[in-house]
Amino acid sequence: MKFDDYIYDLSSPGRTGVDLPDPDVPETPIPEEFLRDDLPLPELSLPQVTRHYLRLSQKNYAVDKGFYPLGSCTMKYNPKVNEWAARLPGFANVHPLQDPHTVQGAMSLMYELQAMIGEIAGFDAVSLQPAAGAHGEFTGVLIMRAAQLARGETQRHKILVPDSAHGTNPASTSMAGFTAVQIPSDKDGNVDIEALKAALDDEVIGIMITNPNTLGLFESHIVEVCNLVHEAGGLVYGDGANLNAIMGIVRPGDLGVDVMHFNLHKTFSTPHGGGGPGSGPVGVTAELAPFLPGPIVDMTEEGDEYVWRTPEKSIGRIKSFYGNFGVMVRAYTYIKMHGAEGLRQVSEIAVLNANYMQARLLQMGDYPIPYGHRFCKHETVAQGKIPGAEGVHTLDIAKRLIDYDFHPPTIYFPLIVSEALMIEPTETEDKETIDAFLDALDKIADEARENPELLHEAPHNAPVRRLDEVRAARHPILVRLPAPAT
Amino acid sequence: MRYIPLTDDDRRAMMEAIGIEDIDELFADVPAEFRYPDLQLPAPLTEMEVMRELDMMAAENANLREFASFLGAGAYNHFVPAIVDTIISRGEFYTAYTPYQPEISQGHLQAAFEYQSMVAALTGMEAVNASHYDGSTAVAEAAIMAVNIQRHKRRTIVVSPTLHPQYREVLRTYVQGMDMKVIGDETHDNDFHALIDLTDDDTALVIVQNPDFLGQLHTPQEMQDLADAVHAKGALLAVATDPIALGILKPPGEYGADIVTAEGQVLGNSLSFGGPYLGIFAFRMKHVRKSSGRLVGETVDADGNRGYVLTLSTREQHIRREKATSNICSNQALNALAAAAYLAAMGKHGLRKVAELSWHKAHYAAQQIHQIDGYEVVMDKPFFKEFVVKCPRPVAEINRYLLEEYGIIGGYDLSRDYPHLGDAMLLCVTEMNTREEIDDLVIALGEAQSPHIHLNLEVSL
Ligand SMILES: Cc1ncc(COP(=O)(O)O)c(C=O)c1O
């Protein structure tokens, strides 16, 4: 069998994986007109299925395998007890529409999680319904819209988005029907205050701000930014993707942020699943609480029972049921094991690790760091501009890192740094690993100068060589099914 | 030390390299008056303690391993073979992220491509994305996609009143700022002619569900006629469906659907109190550039070997920003992997059998319940695994009796979403329900209609 057999190539007529019991009730004929002619699914036995997926898994890089410093994604260790918890039958085998009396345990977990993450980030109310960060952003922007409409501010239609923002910020803005207005950054990587002032008028719904921002820097004028926006009648949205840098250090709500999403799959250690599921709860001030999507979990006045409640002026439901509950269980477990002091330590060490990398990279001198004159927070953004190796690009460096058995950092983001290498070590790495990664970057810089071809053709020891992405996009093949039997 | 490997010596060495004496120095740019808030959180627990607490919390919920359940309405208790959890528990899969570096993500990319292919086979469609959040957001994304396909010249979405009530709610939430209209469900008239009458030159998309929220099946011919009528008026048709039903039923791709969505939870994903689930999203290839969500495509590497990459990402937010077809970034990749593993394990024969068992058991249950005094199965069309039962008293009371006396989780109370049906419940029967459970349900329902029960119940509650 070839290593990369396609699943349909393993199929043979008549094989079955799973046997099911015969009907224990009288059968009811199914009217012919409804029936499909063929069901072109593969026919496999379970040993084949097991081997197929195990082999595929071995062609994947992952946090459990090695260092994964993918900037902005907080690829920290995913605790195994979280997985255990989410699989408890009392969580995994519970139907969302059961009578609330029969799911008080699950509701209490959600209630406590709402309260704990609200406390961590300084918000009065939280909805756990959004499925991911971008979904939380969209929810938040709709909340800002609803709040502005409730204030009678119907003329407002613009949302200010710094040029360093993640692509989901402007995309969420336009999905909500608004215009994204880009605000430049200043030479220190902060929002340019003068540009902000010039952009603020009575057409502005608010600003979306990421803090620490995607340059890995704390917005040192954050209080002034919030004040200016509020004075102009706007609201402040906080992209909480980078909360891992500031737990127990500062609360966005205290700084003037009105609404923020959390990424439970980043900050609170829930696994990224190869791209998801995530969970993107939204926290808000008391003023915005009535607009949250519902239902959220509340407690009766007597304090003896958890109940579902949809806020009075809710923007509406943003997802079926209550959100990605299985992800919430993991985040809950993580927070309960850390407590206030543990979470602060998480952020301190995440920031220590990032600054250690930044300091050593600056010392190495091969990878310029445009904002290296400041301490970073959870990540640092360097450039793949190795002196003396002008033909070598960030992509080549990233691919060469694969040969050293590391996952490359985020590349070409944020857009305002050319040839960006966005490196986020997280707190769960040991110093030896971080040093080995830095040593690899050091060696790669030498290779880039001495033997650039080595980089252009990298990776050399991955399961496949560089893939032809242009071809994939020009003639998209998204599905491959065997030709129908004749 | 809670997942942090640094020793004191490491810390000292690192601070020295940075040139600081205290970690606090790294936070000097945080406004001093707000620095180091005193967070009021519960004291930390060790792993042993947290497991004990979680065990207790989980035990407070009635779980479907212990309780017979006839609850569906968008989340379903179907069998999940053990192999699925084995596969999605591989650290190589679940601790990776979006495959931005295809050379070291071939495992996930191939599995996602195979997911797309198997879902295409199941739905009869040409293209499938890597996932949306769930069945509800897939519907909302279909509406946005249709408006984009129509270049914003058509902005009305016509929805059937028997499209899942929560999907309609989510759709309305999504489009509230977008200058789009959602109509069609003002009355409970589920006749396709009513939907066709509403379709005009502002209609971008008509959305129906089949089997619909109330369990009813429209024949492939009725569906094809609907598609033809919708297309004749220049609009598109989206069909929300049940992937399990497609184990036996003619798929929407064969009766004219332009977009097919589904709640993919049923394919190997646990109920998990409502999430994480899987938004299945399939469409015609000609619309691929207006589609939303990640797509995995086949290509070759520098040596000419077959490989897989994320493709057509110029539609996506990280490239196109405010002009993206959607803002979606993280999706439900692991749930899609579970679905792929499920489809591979069940295969052609297994899935067909699951569908047949659900059909037979649901029909047996309906026949039995219809014979109980005071109850009536009210279906004017054939159904698949769900059906509506008119009840002699409020469903909430009946369900309480079933639970208290028989440990049975009853059906979904339709009185809020479909008040015109009166006291009616939506019952769901799958391959997981034994004949014994069904027979118990029948007995329990019979008892629950007696007025005396009411008195007893008041006491016991
Ligand atoms: C800064 C930032 N904002 C928002 C998001 C979107 O989060 P999600 O992928 O959970 O939708 C990301 C994700 O990578 C991010 O890095």
- Residues A406 and A440 sit within 8 Å (Cβ to Cβ): yes
- A332 and A372: one domain? no
Residue A66 has pLDDT above 90, yes or no: yes
Which segments of B178-263 does DSSP mark as H helices, in order? 192-198, 220-232
- A205 and A255: one domain? yes
Establish if A198 touches chain B: CB-CB under 8 angstroms.
no
CA distance A248 to B73: 42
Establish if B54 touches chain A: CB-CB under 8 angstroms.
yes
CB contact under 8 A, A171 and B105: no
Establish if A412 touches chain B: CB-CB under 8 angstroms.
no
- A111 and A210: one domain? yes
B309 to chain A, closest Cα gap in Å: 7
DSSP secondary structure letter of residue B162? T
Establish if A391 touches chain B: CB-CB under 8 angstroms.
no
> ipTM of the assembly?
0.98
Residue A153 has pLDDT above 70, yes or no: yes
pLDDT tens, position by position, A354-398: 999 999 999 999 999 999 999 999 999 999 999 999 999 999 999
**What CATH topology corresponds to B68-79+348-460?**
Aspartate Aminotransferase, domain 1 (3.90.1150)
Q: How confident is the model at residue A65 (pLDDT cuts 50, 70, 90)?
A: very high
Portion of chain B with pLDDT greater than 90, in percent: 92
Q: Which residue has the tokens 């026919």?
A: A43
Residue A37 included in any domain: yes
**Pairing assessment for the beta strands B376-377 and B386-390 based on DSSP bridges:** antiparallel
pLDDT tens, position by position, B226-255: 999 999 999 999 999 999 999 999 999 999
Q: What pLDDT is recorded for position B455?
A: 42
B196 to chain A, closest Cα gap in Å: 22
CB contact under 8 A, A57 and B317: no
Q: Which residues are CB-contacts of A273 (< 8 A; sequence separation ≥ 6)? A: A265, B93, B94, B96, B332, B333, B334, B335, B337
* Choice from A168, A262, A282 to test ligand 1 binding pocket (greatest atom count within 8 A of CB): A168
- A118 and A230: one domain? yes
Q: How confident is the model at residue B120 (pLDDT cuts 50, 70, 90)?
A: very high
Residue A231 included in any domain: yes
Q: What pLDDT is recorded for position B459?
A: 38
CB contact under 8 A, B328 and A374: no
- A246 and A303: one domain? yes
pLDDT tens, position by position, B349-379: 999 999 999 999 999 999 999 999 999 999 8
Q: How confident is the model at residue B458 (pLDDT cuts 50, 70, 90)?
A: very low
Residue of B22, B61, B379, B417 to mutate for A, most A C-beta atoms under 10 A: B61
- Closest atom of ligand 1 to A280 CA is 10
Residue of A25, A35, A369 to mutate for B, most B C-beta atoms under 10 A: A25
For residue B403, the chain A residues in CB contact (below 8 A) are 99, 102
Q: Which residue has the tokens 């093949």?
A: A477
Establish if B320 touches chain A: CB-CB under 8 angstroms.
yes
CA distance A429 to A44: 40
CB contact under 8 A, A476 and B399: no
Residue A59 has pLDDT above 50, yes or no: yes
Q: In CATH, what number does B82-344 get?
A: 3.40.640.10
CA distance A352 to B400: 56
Residue A485 has pLDDT above 70, yes or no: no
For residue A30, the chain B residues in CB contact (below 8 A) are 248, 356, 359
CA distance B351 to B210: 18
Average pLDDT of span B290-318: 95
Q: How confident is the model at residue A486 (pLDDT cuts 50, 70, 90)?
A: low
Q: Report how far ligand 1's centroid is from the alpha carbon of B344 (Å).
A: 31
Q: Which of B97, B174, B435 lies nearest to residue A70, judging by beta carbons?
A: B97
CB contact under 8 A, B347 and A321: no
Establish if B455 touches chain A: CB-CB under 8 angstroms.
no
Q: What pLDDT is recorded for position A483?
A: 84
Residue A439 has pLDDT above 90, yes or no: yes
Portion of chain A with pLDDT greater than 90, in percent: 98
Residue B461 has pLDDT above 60, yes or no: no
CA distance A157 to A205: 6
Portion of chain B with pLDDT greater than 70, in percent: 97
pLDDT tens, position by position, B423-440: 999 999 999 999 999 999
3-state secondary structure of B344: helix
Q: B329 CB less than 6 Å from ligand 1?
A: yes
- A321 and A403: one domain? no
- A31 and A126: one domain? no
Number of compact structural domains in chain A: 3
Q: What pLDDT is recorded for position B451?
A: 60
- Closest atom of ligand 1 to A132 CA is 10
- A104 and A229: one domain? yes
- A265 and A163: one domain? yes
pLDDT tens, position by position, A104-115: 999 999 999 999
pLDDT tens, position by position, A240-277: 999 999 999 999 999 999 999 999 999 999 999 999 99
| Residue B36 CB neighbour total at 10 angstroms | 13
Residue A206 included in any domain: yes
Residue A2 included in any domain: no
- A182 and A313: one domain? yes
Q: A239 CB less than 6 Å from ligand 1?
A: yes
pLDDT tens, position by position, B25-65: 999 999 999 999 999 999 999 999 999 999 999 999 999 99
Torsion angle, alpha carbons of B253, B255, B257, B260, to 10: -50
- A178 and A310: one domain? yes
More confident residue, A447 or B187: A447
Write out residues 54-93 of A within 8 Å (CB-CB) of B. Answer: 54-65, 68, 70, 73, 75-79, 81, 83-93
Establish if B431 touches chain A: CB-CB under 8 angstroms.
yes
Amino acid residing at B37:
P
The domain boundary residue, chosen from A297, A321, A337? A337
Q: What pLDDT is recorded for position B453?
A: 58
Q: What pLDDT is recorded for position A135?
A: 98
Residue A177 included in any domain: yes
* Closest residue CA from atom 14 of ligand 1: A73
pTM for this entry = 0.98
Q: What pLDDT is recorded for position B452?
A: 61
Residue of B123, B133, B266 to mutate for A, most A C-beta atoms under 10 A: B133
Residue B449 has pLDDT above 90, yes or no: no
CA distance A151 to A55: 58
- Range B193-202, long-range pairs (CB < 8 A, 24+ positions): B195/B158, B195/B160, B195/B226, B196/B226, B196/B229, B196/B230, B196/B233, B198/B158, B199/B158, B199/B229, B199/B230, B199/B233, B199/B235, B200/B156, B200/B233, B201/B154, B201/B233, B201/B234, B202/B154, B202/B155, B202/B156
User: Which domain does A176 fall in, by range?
Assistant: 81-337
For residue B328, the chain A residues in CB contact (below 8 A) are 132, 134-135
Average pLDDT of span B211-217: 97
CA distance B276 to A264: 13
Q: How confident is the model at residue B457 (pLDDT cuts 50, 70, 90)?
A: very low
Angle, nearest 10°, between helix axes B8-18 and A325-364?
50
CB contact under 8 A, A356 and B17: yes
Residue A63 included in any domain: no
Residue A65 included in any domain: no
pLDDT tens, position by position, A175-230: 999 999 999 999 999 999 999 999 999 999 999 999 999 999 999 999 999 999 99
- A359 and A323: one domain? no
Q: A379 CB less than 6 Å from ligand 1?
A: no
Q: How confident is the model at residue B187 (pLDDT cuts 50, 70, 90)?
A: confident
Establish if B8 touches chain A: CB-CB under 8 angstroms.
no
CB contact under 8 A, A272 and B18: no
By 3-state DSSP, what share of chain B in percent is helix, strand and coil, each rounded to 5? 45, 15, 40
- Residues B167 and B221 sit within 8 Å (Cβ to Cβ): no
Q: A244 CB less than 6 Å from ligand 1?
A: no
Q: What pLDDT is recorded for position A177?
A: 93
Element (H, E) at A235: strand A235-240
Q: Where are the domains of chain B?
A: 68-79+348-460, 82-344
* Closest residue CA from atom 10 of ligand 1: A133
- Residues A413 and A214 sit within 8 Å (Cβ to Cβ): yes
Q: Which residue has the tokens 């650039």?
A: A452
Q: Considering chain A, what is the average pLDDT of its residues?
A: 97
Residue A401 included in any domain: yes
Write out residues 98-157 of A within 8 Å (CB-CB) of B. Answer: 98-99, 102-106, 108-109, 116, 119-120, 122, 131-135, 137-138, 141-142, 145
Residue A401 has pLDDT above 90, yes or no: yes
Q: Which two tokens stand for residue B139?
A: 């519907």
Q: Considering chain B, what is the average pLDDT of its residues?
A: 96
